[in-house]
A and B are shown apart, each in its own frame.
Chain A
Amino acid sequence: DAKTTQPTSMDCAEGRAANLPCNHSTISGNEYVYWYRQIHSQGPQYIIHGLKNNETNEMASLIITEDRKSSTLILPHATLRDTAVYYCIVRAIFGNEKLTFGTGTRLTIIP
C-alpha cells in the first residue's frame, strides 16, 4: 500500500471549513484513498473514500487531485465534536486486508 504523509496537527475555528491535506505521491492506479477519524478513547470511524473523482457524503467531502498524488478532506462546518485524529489511508480494494493507519492529523476545533 502507498505511504501517506499528513501534518501532525491542525486547528480550525468552530463553524469554519476544516481542510485536511494528505500526500500520497506513490499511489497506484488501483488504490483508493480512505479517511477515518478517531475521537479520543473511541474506535476509528469511517468517513469517506474515493478513487479519482471527488466524493461527498453527509459527513465530509473528498477532493483528489487530477494526478491522484494528494487529496484533501473537507469538513464543511466544523463543530467541537469534530475534534479528533484523522487518518488518510491508501489501499487497493482487493488484496491484503491490512488498513495501514499512520499517526494521522490531530484536528482541534476551537470555540
Chain B
Amino acid sequence: NAGVTQTPKFRVLKTGQSMTLLCAQDMNHEYMYWYRQDPGMGLRLIHYSVGEGTTAKGEVPDGYNVSRLKKQNFLLGLESAAPSQTSVYFCASRPTGRGNIQYFGAGTRLSVL
C-alpha cells in the first residue's frame, strides 16, 4: 500500500533551470495538494486540485505551475528555478468527504544554487 509517493526525494538545481516534481497516489483520491516548508516554518499551500483536469492557486503560487492530467498524478513544475525556491516540498491527497483529512508524501528536498 504505497499511499502518496513523491519523486525525486532530493534534487539540486542551478538558478534558471527547470524541473518537474511528481506526486502519485494510489488511493483514488479526488483532491491533491502541493505545499512547501521552509526552515522553522509551517507548511504553505502552493497549488491544489479538486479533481482530474482542475487546478487552483494556493497562498504562494508564484513561480510554480501544476497539472493534473490523470487522477492519480499531480505535477509541480518550476520553469526557471530561483534560490528562494529552495525548500522541502510535500504533496498530499484526500478523498471527497471525511472532512479535510489529508495524507502526505515523504517530501522532496530541493536546493537551488
Which A residues are closer than 8 A to B by beta carbons?
32, 34, 41-46, 49, 87, 91, 93, 97-104
Contact = CB atoms under 8 A, between A and B. Distances in A.
Nearest to A42: B106
Contact of B104 (A32, A45, A102, A103): A45
B42 A101 contact: yes
Nearest to A51: B99
A38 to B, nearest CB: 9
Q: Which 3 A-B pairs have the closest CB atoms?
A: A43-B104, A101-B42, A101-B43
B50 A102 contact: no
A97 B42 contact: no
Given A97-B33, A97-B56, A101-B35, 15 more contacts: A41-B107, A42-B107, A43-B90, A43-B105, A43-B106, A44-B102, A45-B104, A49-B101, A91-B100, A99-B100, A99-B102, A100-B42, A101-B42, A101-B44, A102-B42
B43 A49 contact: no
With a 10 A CB-CB cut-off, give which of A42, A99, A104 has the most chain B CB atoms: A99
Chain A contact surface mostly: loop
Contacts, number: 55
A43 B33 contact: no
With a 10 A CB-CB cut-off, give which of A41, A43, A99, A104 has the most chain B CB atoms: A43
B48 interface: yes
Interface string B32-68: 0101000011111100101000001011000000000
A97 B104 CA distance: 15
A91 B101 CA distance: 11
A73 B32 CA distance: 27
B40 A97 contact: no
Contacts of A91: 100
Contacts of A34: 99-101
A44 B33 contact: no
Contacts of A43: 4, 90, 92, 104-107
A32 B100 CA distance: 10
Nearest to B103: A46
